[in-house]
Structure 1
Amino acid sequence: MADTTELTAAVERFADRLRTAPQSRLQRGAAAEGLELARELALRAQRLEAPDTAPRIMPDAGVFAVADQLVVAGNDLAGILRTASSAAEVDEVVGLVRRAAARAGL
């Protein structure tokens, strides 16, 4: 069983920063970065949970919803990784989250 505490904490930190970012920053790319990450996390969860199913793309629900989308996707993936992965896989995803937050400037 992999420990996903660091992953959920990194996702929550990024989501909290998105929630408190001014609208102008969200519109300049921070929200797009968050949505791209949420979509990647959701895709990874889908591949692990149902590898033979065509992936579904998370919709763009707007700049003010992206933090919630990120948390949902991150928690879904963490739940799957907790039982079906190694620490290295979790570390890789934590790195994705941190790099996306840095690119977003948050």
Structure 2
Amino acid sequence: MRSYGTWPLAYQWPVQRIGVDFQPAKPPGEPTCLLVWRDGQDKVRFMQLSPFAYQLAVCLQAGAEAKSALYDLAQSHGLPADKHYFRNAQILLDDWQSQGIWHL
């Protein structure tokens, strides 16, 4: 998969929520993982990711093939790389592709 102007980002703070009405005193227990990209009209978009989806996005950004990255992630997380796992992963990848985030 190839990406055009796509960046997986991780922050200690929930940067997408910080504003006048939300200024936390301490960071949450888990990092805030975001996927930032430019759409077809060159508008910056972002979505919050689970840590697992963030790791997948990092692998894809580095040039890994989706199937290989998914096998590696399953192994590193102790997950079975079965039909259910790959079906759910394909839903995520299809969503990213339909939004123009990743291209085959």
Report the TM-score when normalising by structure 2.
Answer: 0.36
Greater helix proportion: 1
Greater strand proportion: 2
Bigger RCO of structures 1 and 2 (CA < 8 A, at least 6 apart)? 1
